[in-house]
Chain A
Amino acid sequence: MSSQSFDVSHQLTPEKECMNQTAPKETLIGKRVPKLDAPEKATGLTRYIEDLKLPRMLYGKILFSDRPHARIVNIDTSAAEAMSGVRAVITAADIELVPFGFGRDNTAIKKDKVTCIRDEVAAVAADTPRIAAEAIKQIRVTYENLPVVTSTEEALADGAPIIHAGTPNNIPFQFDYSHGDIEQGIRGSDVILEDTYTLRRQAHCCLGTSGIIASFDADGRLTLHSLTQVPFLYKHDLSRIVGVAPEKIRVIQPPIGGGFGSKLDIHPFEPICVFLARATSRPVRLVFTREEEFLATPTRQPMVIHLKSGARKDGTFTFRDVRMLLDNGGRTSWGATTPWISMRTFSSLYRVPHVRQHVDVVYTTNPYACAFRGYGNPQATFALESQVDQLADALRMDPLELRLKNAQKPGETTGQGMVLGTCGLADCLTTAARNAAWEEKHKKPSATAACTAAQEHESSIVNRQPSIARGIGMASLFHVGGGAKIYRSDGCGTMLKLDDFGGVTVMTGSSEIGQGSETVIAQIVAEELGLPIGNIRVINNDTDLTPWDVGVHASRTTFIAGNSALRAARDARRKLVDAAAPRLKRKPEELDLQNGKVVDRSSGEPLESIGKIIRGLHFGRTKNELVMTTDFYEPPSTAPDERHMGNISPCYAFGTHVAEVEVDLDTGVVKVVRLCAAHDVGRVINRLGIEGQVEGGIAQGIGYCLTEELKVEDGRICNPSFTDYKILTATDLPEVNVSFIETHDPAGPHGAKGVGESPLIPVAPAIANAIYHATGVRMTELPLTPERVLAKLKEAREQETIND
């Protein structure tokens, strides 16, 4: 947090609110509150992992496999060990190999065999990063190549090489879900469509690369400066891998240069750094180069989704049958479980009586994937929302009307057992459509668009006009809005401490990865205690201080950490008011806390400073007390049963995006001109922060849709740099219009629901649907590069010619 004073009060316009038909009260909720750590970040004073140095610290470096599938015959480290400045060289022979990862098929360093290009083979610790890098080059590994398995088809073919001995069929996991009866759904359908959608690898591209510092105390306690998003689970899981009792592990999270799900798993470099620190008895820092970041950190899960669905003539959805194939790569991370979230969109974005989903997670010798903002939902939503438009086309219905007809409604329980306390989907649909002038712009009948586009193209060549086709498309989303109870607890703890002067320290278990949770938590506490937000200090990065939390993921922090902070603040407020009442000769219910003062609730008249009440408790003549409260909030959600049924989250997020595109028919280049987003967020807590979440999510979504693909050929990564892997720049940005639908979820803090992941999810299908509207061409494989679009346009023109 900033050492410089920073006053946000000038930002806050007083909002007139009626409280008991009385005095106006300023509220922080819904205001544009600048991020509390922004001044520190704006001045370059924030110290990220790469900026931290401990005394006598060494620098770690990893040797990764340079082939996708091979037996390790021999490793000769003698030349590296002989180098001046090299303090340790370790291989699998030097450590205890404890299997970890969701599939327990990974170890920190690999012993006998590598199963993907990035497998860790050896590591060094040296006096400088340059010496460490040089030492890595001196390690000689003798491999015996094994057959490369580059696709799920190859992995599932008869006689395919076995990648992991315990899994002879190369299918480590299968997931099945169903509700209703598919056959009955098929019989009741007037229209049935099926298609296959192919989703590729998106890299997180956090601007700060991955890193860690490991150091041991004299008494064997391990301190990790780690970028993990799940510090408490991390302690527990890492403990097993490195052989240090969890109670002796302290995780300190320095400010994190971007997360987006990438730091949900334990990655091999983390225990490796611990082993290096143990081997040298010195602190070791290991920070990736950008190339290592591309090569050796997992991506979004690549999937092939075969989707078949049906509807009655009037547009009522009848059934949905999904088969998903995951290219799991050579190791199993939490990425393998992304279908758990995919299936919730298939089952519950719309009312569908019959849904079935079968998932095969398949080993290949490709790089592996992990969690990434949306967690399987962007993939599912691309398939589903593309097909909803295909159904609309087949039914000759407006896609908006079809969606509205089938949209979930508040109070409903979905087929998968999710209870929708609030649901603003219909409002999201109509709001985004209205803002985008949908009715007017979608008029052009898309069924004939291909023909029109082709004809327009022909005439444009003759007339030398730019051959641009314009279109509009929409897609909606359904996501958890307050965590997902996958682990035994989905809770968060808060400890709140007031000093003698009205300063508040909030220790929250929830982690900050740039999304602005510390500001939202401070707003909630400041609001409850009637203190300026500048009085609130949030500590959220040290497991020795902060209470348990399951981690920052599943769009849960505002809802769950916010609820916990709210409850802890309410307790503190009660203590203050109860202490003030006898001093001021009022009843507690006649008092309020505002602007650092205890005030008369009805008149707003200031009666006493809050600091004075706190000091009265602390230094009382007869009784001495500090104002400290604690809370642990466990959401009222339930873990899914073995059939994946259950109310996994205490609330759910909805949204709709409408994209307007221009497709260059000569080059296949797609330009997103405008994007109108409407999100059901329950209630806005920090308007500045939530706009940033939505705008940033849209940018990542456009990248996922149009430009981003980590290319893998023969198990090797082809584009490990920002030159060859293209994320959006400032010039690629469309005009973005964002609306918030405030459904005031009764379970949320001030009615808020989560929004972190939502804005990325529907972007790609909205754009694909707009391309279809513009050209009549249905794009089913991401990213929608000019090559892919052009190929489809060409195919459509040839088809057109044959038909003519």
Chain B
Amino acid sequence: MSLVELAFVVNGEAVSVKVTPFVTLLEVLRDHLELTGTKYGCGEGECGACSVIMDGKVVNACLVLALDCEGAQVVTIEGLAANGMLHPLQQAFVDHGAIQCGFCTPGMIMTAYALLEANPSLTEDDIKRGLEGNLCRCTGYRKIVDAVLSLAEGGVS
């Protein structure tokens, strides 16, 4: 099948890849760009392990056709830490014990990041509802919610 050129911005960096027309954003990130922090958990938009930010909104990268990303701004988990420092949200996940096997963590952090960007004064219920599309099998969610809450305005750190 003929390849199509795709140009978009990932973590602030312009990238250009040649892809088959049917591949997903998840495949481009993982297989073409080696950004393997974004996980395959189900391929059907059910688990949220592949959550990334596309033009300011959380998407399941497994459900986005790569060609729909032409010109888009995409942020993945690799785009959060800067200058060797964890992003405060990543640090909060570490400090609150929100990470066990860690497989859901990148998607969970990206979703939480978008929630906080959209509404800095999230309540506990906002966080729970906002994270509903991200499954975790290890933690029981309590410590994940606490981690996000610690960064919400008026939240408990």
Instruction: State whether B137 touches A6 (Cβ < 8 A).
Output: no
Complex Cα distance A207/B46, Å?
11
Contact among A32, A42, A256, A695 for B93, CB-based, below 8 A = A42
Number of A-B contacts (CB under 8 A): 180
Contact residues in B for A43 (Cβ distance below 8 Å): 37, 77-78, 80-81, 86, 90
Contact residues in A for B100 (Cβ distance below 8 Å): 35, 514-516, 692, 696
Complex Cα distance A37/B106, Å?
14
Complex Cα distance A43/B145, Å?
18
Instruction: State whether A256 touches B140 (Cβ < 8 A).
Output: no
Instruction: State whether B145 touches A11 (Cβ < 8 A).
Output: no
B66 contacts A by Cβ under 8 Å = no
Contact residues in A for B109 (Cβ distance below 8 Å): 42
Complex Cα distance A206/B40, Å?
12
Instruction: State whether A731 touches B137 (Cβ < 8 A).
Output: no
Instruction: State whether B106 touches A700 (Cβ < 8 A).
Output: no
B53 contacts A by Cβ under 8 Å = no
Complex Cα distance A11/B80, Å?
23
Instruction: State whether B101 touches A51 (Cβ < 8 A).
Output: no
Q: How far in angstroms is the closest Cβ of chain B from A61?
A: 14
Instruction: State whether B97 touches A35 (Cβ < 8 A).
Output: yes
Complex Cα distance A51/B33, Å?
12
* Closest chain B residue, CB of each to CB of A11: B95
Most buried by A among B30, B37, B134: B37
Instruction: State whether B127 touches A730 (Cβ < 8 A).
Output: yes
Q: How far in angstroms is the closest Cβ of chain B from A654?
A: 21
A698 contacts B by Cβ under 8 Å = yes
Instruction: State whether B36 touches A47 (Cβ < 8 A).
Output: yes
B143 contacts A by Cβ under 8 Å = yes
* Closest chain A residue, CB of each to CB of B47: A722
A208 contacts B by Cβ under 8 Å = yes
Contact with A along B133-156 (1 / 0, CB 8 A): 111111111111100000000000
Instruction: State whether A696 touches B128 (Cβ < 8 A).
Output: no
Given that A4-B86, A38-B99, A729-B132 are contacting pairs, would A44 and B76 also be in contact in the complex, using a CB cutoff of 8 Å? yes
Given that A695-B140, A730-B144 are contacting pairs, would A722 and B42 also be in contact in the complex, using a CB cutoff of 8 Å? yes
* Closest chain A residue, CB of each to CB of B79: A44
A sample of 11 inter-chain contacts (CB < 8 A) reads: A38-B99, A42-B99, A42-B109, A50-B40, A51-B30, A207-B104, A290-B42, A695-B140, A728-B141, A729-B132, A736-B142
Most buried by B among A4, A206, A208: A208
Contact residues in B for A733 (Cβ distance below 8 Å): 128, 140-142, 145
Instruction: State whether B97 touches A514 (Cβ < 8 A).
Output: no
Q: How far in angstroms is the closest Cβ of chain A from B117?
A: 18
Q: How far in angstroms is the closest Cβ of chain B from A262?
A: 11
Complex Cα distance A102/B97, Å?
37
Contact among A207, A696, A736 for B135, CB-based, below 8 A = A207
Contact residues in A for B128 (Cβ distance below 8 Å): 730-731, 733
Complex Cα distance A348/B47, Å?
40
Supply 5 further A-B pairs (C-beta < 8 A) apart from A4-B81, A208-B101: A34-B94, A39-B86, A50-B36, A207-B138, A695-B141
Complex Cα distance A799/B44, Å?
46
Instruction: State whether A696 touches B38 (Cβ < 8 A).
Output: no
Contact among B90, B133, B137 for A39, CB-based, below 8 A = B90
Contact residues in A for B101 (Cβ distance below 8 Å): 206-208, 255-259, 513-514
Complex Cα distance A695/B103, Å?
17
Instruction: State whether A731 touches B135 (Cβ < 8 A).
Output: no
Instruction: State whether A696 touches B140 (Cβ < 8 A).
Output: yes
